[in-house]
């Protein structure tokens, strides 16, 4: 099967099965989305949604969080992965937003990447979810599913290379949704261990390239 045909069939499936899709993180503003995405690194959305309500009750915006110490923030996020580093990043990020952006989350990619604790994946999520831009965030789920389905090749061996390949072949209007399609498919069906192939609507066309599906970079 040619690559173009594979993309066509995969995208048609997701459009039909998940026409309305968004992040499973819970938030009330773009700032809160940014905080939740930073916290979600190497942690489940379920866990993040358990800790953010109380965190946001005390620090609902950048200006209030900028007044908090790392220890203050740590108190609310101690149960997430790498809480010390994340508390440090959030405190510094909030101060940077206040000092450079009047407390508002910027739309520009370079300005997002300048924020403490914000990498390319996080910046892409914010651009897609908050601002509707055609950016593709590549996390472990997107990386794994893209390889297993044959949407990318063995040489696409980094998140950035996968991002470039996916955005080259997915129509612009689908890119903000495609991140969630691949992520949710990886989270609930094409799981890292023991993927549920018998429950997968893509089973017949999937080449099951398990060997190349692990994120190593």
Distance of CA 11 to the CA centre of its chain: 19
Alpha-carbon gap, residue 21 to 181, rounded angstroms: 7
Alpha-carbon gap, residue 76 to 67, rounded angstroms: 15
Task: Specify the residue for token string 């503003």.
Answer: 29
Active-site residues: which are they? 121, 139
Phi and psi torsions of 139, nearest 5°: -105, -170
Task: Say whether 70 sits in a helix, a strand or coil.
Answer: helix
Which of 167, 43, 65 has its CA nearest to residue 115? 65
Assigned token pair, 98: 């206040």
Task: Specify the residue for token string 């997915």.
Answer: 170
Task: Say whether 88 sits in a helix, a strand or coil.
Answer: helix
């Amino acid at each position: 099967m040619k690559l173009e045909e594979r993309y066509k069939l995969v995208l048609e499936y997701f459009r039909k099965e998940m026409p309305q899709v968004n992040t499973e993180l819970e938030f009330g503003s773009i700032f809160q989305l940014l905080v939740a995405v930073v916290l979600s690194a190497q942690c489940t959305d379920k866990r993040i949604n358990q800790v953010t309500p109380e965190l946001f009750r005390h620090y609902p915006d950048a200006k209030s969080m900028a007044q908090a110490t790392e220890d203050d923030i740590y108190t609310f996020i101690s149960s997430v992965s790498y809480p010390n580093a994340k508390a440090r990043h959030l405190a510094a990020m909030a101060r940077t937003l206040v000092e450079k952006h009047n407390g508002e989350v910027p739309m520009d990619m370079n300005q997002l990447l300048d924020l403490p604790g914000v990498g390319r994946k996080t910046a892409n999520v914010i651009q897609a979810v908050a601002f509707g831009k055609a950016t593709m965030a590549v996390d472990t789920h997107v990386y794994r599913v893209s390889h297993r389905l044959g949407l990318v090749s063995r040489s696409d061996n980094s998140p950035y290379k996968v991002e470039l390949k996916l955005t080259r072949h997915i129509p612009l209007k689908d890119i903000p949704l495609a991140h969630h399609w691949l992520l949710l498919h990886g989270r609930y069906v094409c799981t890292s261990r023991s993927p549920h192939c018998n429950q997968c609507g893509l089973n017949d066309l999937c080449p099951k390239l398990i060997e190349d599906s692990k994120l190593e970079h």
